[in-house]
Chain A
Amino acid sequence: MTGFFAVIGRDLRLGLRQGGDLLTLVLFFVIVGVLMPFAVGPDKTLLARLAPAIVWVAALLAQLLSHDRLFRTDFEDGSLVLFRHAALPLEAIVAAKLIAHWLLTCLPLIVATPVLALVLGMDGPAFRLAALSLVLGTPALAGFGAIGAAVTVGLKRGGLVAPVLVLPLSLPVLIFGTGAFDVARLGGSSQALLLLAALSLLSMVLAPFAAALALKISGE
């Protein structure tokens, strides 16, 4: 268990020391959200209706950009080879890295959501729902992203293939994430949030195994 926490601590320290990356990611998230009103027009009521979708698409795109850093540096500097021969199973190491990755890339996005909520004219309840759905849904995005990153880690030109693989797989996350805002839906938003949480739990459990398997194959 100490090894598990050591990996989380290592990744957090590495991420925070080069904080520029994280700030850029948050900046990207905010810019994508701010760009939408320019495309849609400054209609306040329309923007308020589209706001959940805009926040979710911005989060999805920001997440896609961040996945490549999950295993790439470890693969290139050889840490991954050491991880494979560690006493801790590779699956556990991937799970630890996934938790650190979520803390480093998803949490800042959720913290930055109020800015988008303000700009897009979301009211209080809608903002709280947006933050809650992001908290529940982003682990699933990180899980699918980890699989995509592990699969393409050995490829020099893997940068474009991973999003193409990950985006269709993360469609349910988007549907349930924005479905929480659909008041007309039977069962209300709690159903969507519960399904979202189920998806996150499932992908956080299964993703380390799939990603570790892909990493083992890539490392051979």
Chain B
Amino acid sequence: MADTHAKTVEPGWFTRIAHPGMFMGWSRHVIVPLIVITTLAFAVGLFYAFYGSPADYQMGDTVRMMYVHVPSAWLSQFCYAIMFCSAIGTLVWRHPMADVSQKAAAPLGAAFTALALFTGSMWGRPTWGTFWEWDGRMTSTLVLLFIYLGLIALWRAFDDQLKAARIVAVITLVGAINIPVIKFSVDWWQTLHQPASVFRLDGPTVDSSILIPLLVMTLAFSLLFLTLHLVRMRTEITRRRIRSLEIAQARAAGDAA
């Protein structure tokens, strides 16, 4: 007896928090604090965005659009990274939480990508004089939106969600290989958007009076994403439980009849 007991491996911390039952337990206590922190970050960030930061000497007050545009553009790519990691979790370990995380992230990614495109075109009208331009970054973001929407369509086409998760994971991985190629091809095709100006080797070219509110807003948006992702994952787990309960109930009713 003692021998077999010694052989059982104690599950690691990640295995324990990733168990669906455990996840429902700890995430319940995390969500309310997360909502509070997100609200605080938005309060600080929006105050800086509207009152605490100067207007641009060329673009005037329209520069404040950036405090929504840049964080959502960052999240549109970060969300794909989350889906990529979850897809690996689905295919390699077949972990149900990876499935749930994948499914919860896709509409969020689509929403943030659409928001980035919308604010971008609103910002482009007064500064570039056009809502839409066939420029490299805008085009590749639009293609990213199409990929998100295609993935959501694929999720919805399946009845069996376990199979759907693994099939969608294959396409997510193919997309992850292909997105850099799309980005390169579109850049090769046409370029107008300004080059990256925050994350550079020689330090940011943005003044700190604008950079600090931008970073606070990025943090606030990332927290918002985290909160929504957790809530969506909880909803998805509950939905699956209800579904399996309904099936069990229908089976019991069938047996009784």
Contact = CB atoms under 8 A, between A and B. Distances in A.
A175 B163 contact: no
A201 B155 CA distance: 30
Interface size class of A (residues with CB under 8 A): 20 to 34
A161 B151 CA distance: 9
Contact of B163 (A158, A206, A220): A220
B171 A171 contact: no
A175 B147 contact: no
B190 to A, nearest CB: 10
Contact of A217 (B166, B184, B188): B166
B178 interface: yes
A169 B184 CA distance: 13
Interface size class of B (residues with CB under 8 A): 20 to 34
A171 B178 CA distance: 10
A151 B185 contact: no
Contact of A171 (B91, B143, B154, B163): B143
A171 B153 contact: no
Per DSSP, are chain A's interface residues mostly helix, strand or loop, or mixed?
helix
Per DSSP, are chain B's interface residues mostly helix, strand or loop, or mixed?
helix
B171 A165 contact: yes
B189 interface: yes
Contact of A164 (B150, B166, B170, B174): B150
B15 to A, nearest CB: 24
B182 A152 contact: no
Contacts of B231: none
A175 B188 contact: yes
B186 interface: yes
A158 to B, nearest CB: 6
Contacts of B158: 155
Contacts of B226: none
Given A161-B150, A206-B177, A171 B182 contact: yes
Contact of B170 (A158, A169, A172, A213): A213
Interface in A64-99: none
Interface string B151-169: 1011001100001001100
Given A168-B143, A195-B188, 6 more contacts: A151-B171, A168-B146, A171-B143, A171-B182, A179-B189, A217-B170
26 contacts: A147-B170, A151-B167, A154-B167, A161-B153, A161-B154, A164-B146, A165-B151, A165-B153, A165-B154, A168-B146, A168-B147, A169-B174, A169-B175, A171-B182, A171-B185, A171-B186, A172-B182, A175-B186, A176-B185, A179-B189, A210-B170, A210-B174, A217-B166, A217-B170, A218-B163, A218-B167
